[in-house]
Structure formats: structure tokens, C-alpha cells
């Protein structure tokens, strides 16, 4: 019985890993259609592009928490927490920023007549180094604690590499390679399952100081068979933000329009997003705090 269940779990993970991530994280990035790699200018950068942490003001820190408030049984990321901090410009490492993050992910996977809940908790550290002339380099070091119906699956440490380059005051480019080392999930007696490397890129354009337009490419090398695009925008009016986008243009998996609102007062910001289409009007909320 145990052998058969582990086989089902591993096969289900194979199916899961061959598809795009359903929703990703952060109410603000998702409200912009999940097109955030070229922007990545807040604590959400730990997931989308860790190099973006360098954009925080020197000596400042940010904390964000995201909660999926509806369809928690259908969306795969239920909770996400992150913090980021950039060293003081007068300190020993003015070109360096770091962060730490957590994700609680529960994915319902179907295989024939069997439904398997894969319960993953991700923990990772993020680092950003500004080379000044050649742009910003980013790194994530991630560990996954993976359990399914009572069985623990061993997953290797994984690494993400990223890059951010400011072309001008109006244009920035970003790149992210998730799971660079293609980590493996293993269980005794079974062949390991490889997590597919995901190449992603993005551009952010600021036509005005209070408006940004973003475009991302997902699975650019089509290794997972889900090459697609994401597009979005954000408009700021005083302390309020309106965001919209489309997540998964051309995707074989989940896709749909996104819409979000944000309000900021002092050092606190609250963001909300609704993911439509295949996401079945899922609502996510984020709270963000800036410390100086």
C-alpha cells in the first residue's frame, strides 16, 4: 500500500512540475498580470526577481504577507511572507541587499481515480549585489519541505539566479532562471523526479512617474511546454493604486484577466487582487510594511 501510494505521489508531482505555476504570489504583482520581473521594486522581489531588492532605499527594510482568502482548495499558493533589507549607504556593503521568504503551497493533484494533496512549505534566502556598471545580480537559495498524505519526500536545495538592469529612468529589464540546478524530489526505491528549469524575462516601462507598464515572458525556452506571456500595468493617484493585467497569454494551463486595488498610508500598504478566468475569481490580500 505504501509503495503504491508513493508511486502515485511521484507521478502526480511529475504532472505538476510539467505545468506552469497556477497563481504565483503577491497581490500587487498578480494584479499586474504576474508581469513583475522587470519591475520587482518591493519585498515581493524575493520571489519574482531577488536582484530587485537593491531598489529599496539604503538602510530600509520591507515586510509583506499575502493570504489567499478564497478558493484556497483550488489555488496552489495559500500564504506567502517575505522581508527584504538593503544595507545603509554609509555601511560596509552599500551595494548589497538580502531577504528571507516563506510559502505555504497545497496543490490538489488528480491521477486517475486518486486525488493527492501535495503539501509544500518553501523557505529561501535572497541576495542582491549591485555591480553598478553592469546591473544587479540576484540569488535565491531555497529548501522545500514536501509532504503528501503522510509521506515525506526529499527535495534537493534549489537555486534561482536573476538579473536587473536599468536602461534609463523609464525602462528596466529583468531576467529570472528558477531552479537553475534542476533539483530532484526522491523517495527510497523510486527514480528521482526532476524540477524543470524555468527561464523568464521581463521589461518595465514608466511613461509617467505615476504609471508603469510591464511585460513578462514565461518558460521562454518552452522546457515545460507552457511558453506564454504576461502583461500588466499600475496607475498611482495620491495614496491609491489601480492595477490590471492578463496572466498567461498563450498558456496551456491557467490564464485570465487580473484586477487589483491598493491603498497606502504612511509606512503601511494594503493590496488586493482578483484573478479571473481559469482562476475562478480567486481573491488574494497583501499587507506591506516599510521600516526606515
Total residues belonging to the chain:
292
Digit-coded pLDDT (tens) for 78-137: 899 999 999 876 766 779 999 999 998 877 665 556 666 777 889 999 999 999 889 999
Q: Of 290, 276, 275, nearest to 30 (Cα)? A: 275
Give whole-number Cα distances, 35 to 96, 123, 148, in Å.
25, 23, 31
**What is the rounded distance in angstroms from the CA atom of residue 170 to the CA atom of residue 269?**
24
**Under DSSP, is residue 9 helix (H, G, I), strand (E, B) or coil?**
helix
pTM of the model: 0.88
Half-sphere exposure in the Cβ direction for 255 (13 Å, CA):
14
- Predicted pLDDT of residue 261: 98
Instruction: Give φ, ψ of 55 to 5 degrees.
Output: -80, -10
Sequence-distant (6+) residues with CB within 8 A of 287 are 64, 65, 268, 269, 270
- Predicted pLDDT of residue 21: 40
Q: For domain 2-291, give the CATH number.
A: 2.40.160.60
150 φ/ψ sector (left φ>0, alpha ψ -120 to 50, else beta)? left
Using 50 as the pLDDT threshold, list the residues of the chain that sit under it.
1, 11, 14-21
Sequence-distant (6+) residues with CB within 8 A of 217 are 200, 201, 202, 227, 228, 229, 230
Amino acid at each position: 500500500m505504501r509503495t503504491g501510494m508513493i508511486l502515485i505521489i511521484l507521478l502526480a508531482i511529475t504532472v505538476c512540475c510539467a505545468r506552469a505555476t497556477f497563481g504565483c504570489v503577491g497581490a500587487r504583482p498578480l494584479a499586474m498580470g504576474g508581469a513583475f520581473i522587470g519591475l520587482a521594486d518591493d519585498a515581493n522581489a524575493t520571489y519574482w526577481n531577488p536582484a530587485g531588492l537593491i531598489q529599496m532605499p539604503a538602510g530600509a527594510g520591507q515586510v509583506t504577507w499575502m493570504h489567499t482568502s478564497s478558493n484556497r482548495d483550488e489555488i496552489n499558493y495559500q500564504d506567502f511572507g517575505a522581508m527584504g533589507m538593503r544595507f545603509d549607504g554609509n555601511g560596509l556593503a552599500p551595494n548589497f541587499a538580502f531577504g528571507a521568504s516563506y510559502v505555504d503551497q497545497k496543490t490538489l493533484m488528480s491521477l486517475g481515480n486518486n486525488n493527492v494533496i501535495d503539501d509544500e512549505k518553501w523557505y529561501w534566502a535572497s541576495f542582491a549585489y549591485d555591480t553598478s556598471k553592469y546591473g544587479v545580480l540576484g540569488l535565491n537559495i531555497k529548501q522545500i519541505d514536501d509532504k503528501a498524505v503522510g509521506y515525506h519526500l526529499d527535495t534537493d536545495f534549489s537555486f534561482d539566479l536573476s538579473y536587473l538592469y536599468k536602461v534609463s529612468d523609464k525602462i528596466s529589464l529583468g531576467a529570472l532562471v528558477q531552479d537553475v540546478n534542476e533539483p530532484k524530489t526522491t523517495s527510497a526505491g523510486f527514480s528521482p523526479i526532476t524540477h524543470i528549469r524555468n527561464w523568464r524575462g521581463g521589461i518595465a516601462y514608466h511613461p509617467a512617474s505615476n504609471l508603469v507598464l510591464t511585460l513578462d515572458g514565461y518558460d521562454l525556452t518552452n522546457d515545460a511546454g507552457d511558453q506564454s506571456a504576461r502583461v500588466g500595468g499600475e496607475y498611482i493617484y495620491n495614496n491609491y493604486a489601480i492595477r490590471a493585467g492578463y496572466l498567461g497569454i498563450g498558456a496551456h494551463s491557467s490564464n485570465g484577466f487580473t484586477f487589483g486595488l491598493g491603498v497606502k498610508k504612511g509606512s503601511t500598504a494594503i493590496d488586493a487582487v482578483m484573478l479571473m478566468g481559469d482562476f475562478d475569481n480567486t481573491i488574494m490580500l497583501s499587507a506591506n510594511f516599510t521600516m526606515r
